[in-house]
């Protein structure tokens, strides 16, 4: 029975069989190891629950605190609501930042742990932001989960074909802001420059970072990686010149990519990754990145469905990254309009020439509707920064959060404590 329950949890968590789970996920064995840990906790809890509960009255004064397990709610109000509804909780005014969950017996405990295991992957991958820097230089980047690995390519867009991605990944919900660049410069000494947008609506901290060259965007991404203990995505030599990775060090998922390191955690989105996040909905491709084959409504700002920031006066400039129109089917904002966005690829493909022109797409605030569609893109030299071009960041799927594992362990400990106190 324990094995059967564990297998059901694994199917819910990964969404695939044992044989193909790693092939559908960039993190491969790393994520599967986290699943193994979670399932191990579940096995222990189920084994402990096989014994009948002790009949002692748990409402006896002085014993409640010993029979509760404190779980810190670290991120996401929806997570707390979910756990509160499932476990029930007892308010303690002296520990308002904690949710105290009673160690349940029998069926309720098993049901609760199954719920935790089944929901931990989508919660961690789709609803939590990644944090960078410390103190006054701290900032977060929100990501959405891009699933449907192995989707077919689109043969109606540019380049042709485009959009097929054989793995899951995450895409930045928003464009990178000026504030993010400023704080990364301060924390990492990057020296990235941005265009002065005074005549184009101003230099607000939440405006997209424009005037950043492709090389500077790559340096920013490298800092995201190295500051969080990961391998740099892009190779710059001792003189600061961009160079290719060796064949043995280069990314190979979806085809060899000499620009990106095989162990990169954060990276600039490729043509296929960017295109899929913008135009695909799990079953087919749209012409515009708001889930439509007709142009979105043109707005100066806002978050209304089916809208985008374009056809505005040039002096207005782009709007804040979180106010840049409606969402794509996967939940990204601003992939159509506001500012154009760098892609990782060389415009002509291949990714085997360090100084090749890099592609960008998506359209800007003063462009017309046609530049937002799936057949339009442009290019610049990678050392050139342009006032209408910004970028966003992509990443590998996020493994099961240690906080979730700690929560599962805490539940198991509670069951063990109850058995011990016979």
Q: Phi and psi of 280, rounded to 5°? A: -100, 150
Domains in the chain with CATH codes: 2-128+400-420 (no CATH), 130-395 (3.90.1580.10)
- The pLDDT-based confidence of 110 (bands split at 50, 70, 90) is low
For the chain, give the percent of residues with pLDDT over 90. 63
Mean pLDDT value of segment 367-383: 97
Q: Which of 10-24, 149-163, 408-422 has the highest mean pLDDT?
A: 149-163
Predicted pLDDT at 225: 98
Nearest C-alpha neighbor of 324 from the set 405, 415, 220, 208: 208
The set of residues, in sequence order, having a beta carbon less than 8 Å from that of 420 and lying 6+ positions away, is: none
Q: DSSP secondary-structure letter at 344?
A: E
Mean pLDDT value of segment 29-37: 44
Q: Which of helix, strand or coil describes residue 341?
A: strand
Q: In the beta sheet, which residues pair with residue 359?
A: 379
Mean pLDDT value of segment 249-272: 97
Predicted pLDDT at 170: 98
For 96-110, 117-131, 322-336, which range has the lowest pLDDT when averaged over its residues?
96-110
- The pLDDT-based confidence of 128 (bands split at 50, 70, 90) is confident
Considering only residues 182 and 118, tell me which one the structure prediction assigns the higher pLDDT.
182
Residue 351 has pLDDT above 90, yes or no: yes
Q: Are 298 and 182 in contact (CB under 8 A)?
A: no
Q: Are 94 and 80 in contact (CB under 8 A)?
A: no
**Mean pLDDT over all residues of the chain?**
78
Predicted pLDDT at 413: 57
Dihedral of the alpha carbons of 73, 74, 77, 81, in degrees to the nearest 10: -20
What are the structure tokens assigned to 142, written together? Answer: 């929100």
The pTM of the full predicted model, rounded to 2 decimals, is 0.72
Q: Which of helix, strand or coil describes residue 92?
A: coil
């Amino acid at each position: 029975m324990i094995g059967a329950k564990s297998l059901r949890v694994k199917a819910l968590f990964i969404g695939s069989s044992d044989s193909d789970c790693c092939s559908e996920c960039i993190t491969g064995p790393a994520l599967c190891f986290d699943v193994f840990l979670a399932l191990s906790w579940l096995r222990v809890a189920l084994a402990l629950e096989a014994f009948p509960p002790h009949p002692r009255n748990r409402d006896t004064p002085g014993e409640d605190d010993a029979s509760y397990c404190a779980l810190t709610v670290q991120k996401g109000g929806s997570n707390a609501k979910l756990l509160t509804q499932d476990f029930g909780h007892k308010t303690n005014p002296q520990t308002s930042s904690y949710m105290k969950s009673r160690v349940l017996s029998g069926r309720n405990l098993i049901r609760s742990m199954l719920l935790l295991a089944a929901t931990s992957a989508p919660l961690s991958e789709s609803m939590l932001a990644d944090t960078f820097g410390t103190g006054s230089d701290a900032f977060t980047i929100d990501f959405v989960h891009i699933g449907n690995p192995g989707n077919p390519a689109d043969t109606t867009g540019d380049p042709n074909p485009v959009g097929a991605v054989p793995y899951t990944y995450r895409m930045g919900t928003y464009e990178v802001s000026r504030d993010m660049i400023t704080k990364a410069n301060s924390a990492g000494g990057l020296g990235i420059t941005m265009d002065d947008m005074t005549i184009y609506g101003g230099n607000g901290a939440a405006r997209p970072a424009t005037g950043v060259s492709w090389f500077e965007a790559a340096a920013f991404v490298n800092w995201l990686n190295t500051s969080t203990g990961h391998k740099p995505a892009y190779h710059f030599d001792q003189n600061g010149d961009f160079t290719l990775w060796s064949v043995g060090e280069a990314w190979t998922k979806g085809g060899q990519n000499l620009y990106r390191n095989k162990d990169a955690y954060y990276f600039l989105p490729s043509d296929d990754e960017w295109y899929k996040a913008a135009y695909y909905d799990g079953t087919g491709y749209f012409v515009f990145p708001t889930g439509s084959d007709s142009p979105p409504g043109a707005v100066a700002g806002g978050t209304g469905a089916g809208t985008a920031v374009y056809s505005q006066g040039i002096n207005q400039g782009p709007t804040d990254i979180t106010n840049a129109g409606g969402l794509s089917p996967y939940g990204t904002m601003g992939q159509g309009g506001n500012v154009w966005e760098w892609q990782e690829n060389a415009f002509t493909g291949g990714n085997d020439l360090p100084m090749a022109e890099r592609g960008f797409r998506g359209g800007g605030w003063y462009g017309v509707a046609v530049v937002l569609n799936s057949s339009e893109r442009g290019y610049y030299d990678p050392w050139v920064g342009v006032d209408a071009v910004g970028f966003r960041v992509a990443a590998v799927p996020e493994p099961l959060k240690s906080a979730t594992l700690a929560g599962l362990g805490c539940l198991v400990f509670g069951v063990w404590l109850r058995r011990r106190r016979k």
